[in-house]
Amino acid sequence: MKTIDELLAEGVTGKRVFVRADLNVPLANGEITDDGRIRAVQPTIAKLAEAGARVIVASHLGRPKGAPDPAFSLAPAAKRLGELLGTDVAFATDTVGASAKETVAALADGKVAVIENLRFNAGETAKDDAERGAFADRLAELADVYVGDGFGAVHRKHASVFDLPARLPHAAGYLIATEVGVLKKLTDEVKRPYVVVLGGAKVSDKLAVIDQLLGKADRILIGGGMAYTFLYAKGHEVGISLLQKDQVDVVKEYMERAAKSGVELVLPVDVLVSADFPDLKTKAPADFETVDADKIPADKEGLDIGPKTRELYASKIADAETVFWNGPVGVFEHPDYAGGTRAVAQALVDSDAFTVVGGGDSAAAVRTLGFDEDAFGHISTGGGASLEYLEGKTLPGLAALEG
> Which residues participate in catalysis according to the annotation?
37, 202, 360, 384
Say how far apart CA 263 and CA 88 lie, in whole Å: 52
Comparing C-alpha atoms, which of 73, 182, 56, 50 is closest to residue 119? Answer: 73
Say how far apart CA 96 and CA 78 lie, in whole Å: 17
State phi, psi for 167 to the nearest 5 degrees: -100, -5
Amino acid found at 113:
A
Cis peptide upstream of residue 396 (ω within 30 degrees of 0): no
Radius of gyration of the chain (CA): 22
Amino acid found at 374:
D
Q: Which helix or strand (DSSP H or E) is residue 232 part of?
A: helix 227-233
Residues 6+ apart with CB under 8 A from 357: 325, 326, 345, 348, 363, 366, 376, 378, 379, 380
Q: How long a stretch of residues is the chain?
A: 403
Residues 6+ apart with CB under 8 A from 340: 223, 272, 304, 305, 306, 309, 310, 328, 329, 330, 332
Q: Judge whether 84 and 106 are in contact, CB under 8 Å.
A: no
Question: Crossing angle of helices 339-350/307-318, nearest 10°?
Answer: 20
- What are the C-alpha distances in Å from 127 to residues 123, 162, 252? 9, 12, 35
Say how far apart CA 353 and CA 164 lie, in whole Å: 38
Say how far apart CA 63 and CA 396 lie, in whole Å: 19
| Burial class, 93, CB count within 10 angstroms (exposed 0-12 / middle 13-18 / buried 19+) | middle
